[in-house]
Structure 1
Amino acid sequence: MVAEKELNQEGTTVETETVNLEAAEEIVNEEVKSQEESELELLKKENEELKGKLEETENRILRLQADFENARRRARLDLEATEKYKAQSLITSLLPAIDNFERALKLDADNEQAKSLLQGMDMVYRSVLEALKAEGAEQIDAVGKEFDPHMHQAVMQVQDENFDSNVVVEELQKGYILKDRVIRPSMVKVNQ
């Protein structure tokens, strides 16, 4: 500090002290600098926190988008399967009637009236099979084929030299398949 004498308005001399401006500026600059550094540290911390929250939010959004896409895909597949197999319950309900038609058609007719009746039944039977085929249902061919546990249900085993081992010898009840799904497996006799 430097002491200086000055004249006041009344003309008397007054002693004043002046602060060294450079020292004062330096003190102020250091305080401002330290305040700026602490504010900068706070801003850096806040920035890091915001980056973390942003990354977490982005990850949540990505997971939600993936879940949404999976749900849409599952819904589409369910709808396709429903459409593809819509006739399954009707076909399953018709199978006992078809079995009865097949048993009736195996009867021997001894007169013209019975033959005519069997002919009419055969026409109805074929019409029903054509309707099933139009919906994608078909009979499973079993006799002479190798036994497949997905398509055939073995109810008996026999010893027949005319067939190879593990081959279907006789079909006891027809099996049906709808597109790529087995509705009812064929009941068969299998060669040992």
Structure 2
Amino acid sequence: MTEKKDELEQNLQKVETASLEEAASDETVELNNETEVQQPEDETSELRKQIEELKNKLEEEEARGLRARADFENFKRRSNLDRESAEKYRAQKILTNILPVLDNFERALQVEPKTDEGISILKGMDMVYRSLVAAVEEEGLSAIEAEGKEFDPNFHQAVMQEKDEAKPAGIVLAELQKGYMLKDRILRPTMVKVNE
């Protein structure tokens, strides 16, 4: 019998605890509803303003991030173009310095030798000249064709004019100094004599 009594007391305690918890949760819900209803309109408008400000700041930061990313992409593209250009024209300075050497070789090869020794020296110079020309052509150097062509100020530098009735005006009559290009860049324009 005492067991039944104990069991009844336990059940009674459980029911009381459950009803107390239910009553407490009802009061909490009522308090929460009351506090929500009791919030003044000033606070809600203040919260809305803060939310709008935060949204605007977020949009500004997103735009700033997009601009930074675009700037970085442009920087990478410019850097790649600069690197490619530097690689493409890496030999420009040395080839510019070699141009007078080529001119001197060409002048020396135009001399008529009078002795057998002079002929052999000229042959040796011609071999050196040809190997030098082959080396610079391998780097992308090429001579600009001028004689008999129409004058082009992009490739030719007119230093003299002459009248030749047999040829049309604006035609290059003579090449005074060879011009050279490195790939698609002009290193030195050709000095020419142009028909009036």
- Tell me which interval the TM-score lies in, with the shorter structure as reference length: 0.7 to 0.9
Instruction: State the alpha-carbon separation in 2 of the partners of residues 146 and 189 from structure 1.
Output: 11
- Residue 167 of structure 2 is matched in structure 1 by 163
TM-score normalised by structure 2 residue count: 0.79
Q: Mind listing any 5+ residue stretches in structure 2 that lack a counterpart?
A: 1-32
Matched, 1:83 2:87: yes
Following superposition, the deviation at residue 32 of structure 1 comes to 5.4
Find 2:113's aligned residue among 109, 119, 123: 109
- Residue 68 of structure 1 is matched in structure 2 by 72
Percentage of identical aligned residues: 54
The number of aligned residues is 165
Following superposition, the deviation at residue 135 of structure 1 comes to 0.3
Question: Which shows bigger deviation, 109-118 or 88-97?
Answer: 109-118
| TM-aligned CA distance change 1:34 to 1:165, over 3 Å | farther
Question: Which shows bigger deviation, 164-173 or 111-120?
Answer: 111-120
Post-superposition CA distance 1:88-145 (Å, at most 9, x none): 1110111111110010011111222211111111111111111111000101111111
More helix by share: 2
- Residue 137 of structure 1 is matched in structure 2 by 141
- Residue 100 of structure 1 is matched in structure 2 by 104
Instruction: State the alpha-carbon separation in 2 of the partners of residues 161 and 119 from structure 1.
Output: 40
- Residue identity matched to 2:101: A
Instruction: State the alpha-carbon separation in 1 of the partners of residues 143 and 57 from structure 2.
Output: 61
Post-superposition CA distance 1:134-186 (Å, at most 9, x none): 00010111111111111111000111123221111100000000001000011
Instruction: State the alpha-carbon separation in 1 of the partners of residues 91 and 149 from structure 2.
Output: 27
Instruction: State the alpha-carbon separation in 1 of the partners of residues 91 and 167 from structure 2.
Output: 36
- RMSD (Å) for aligned C-alpha atoms: 1.8
- Residue 54 of structure 2 is matched in structure 1 by 50
TM-score normalised by structure 1 residue count: 0.81
Instruction: State the alpha-carbon separation in 1 of the partners of residues 123 and 36 from structure 2.
Output: 110
- Residue identity matched to 1:43: L
- Residue 179 of structure 1 is matched in structure 2 by 183
- Residue identity matched to 2:90: K
More strand by share: 1
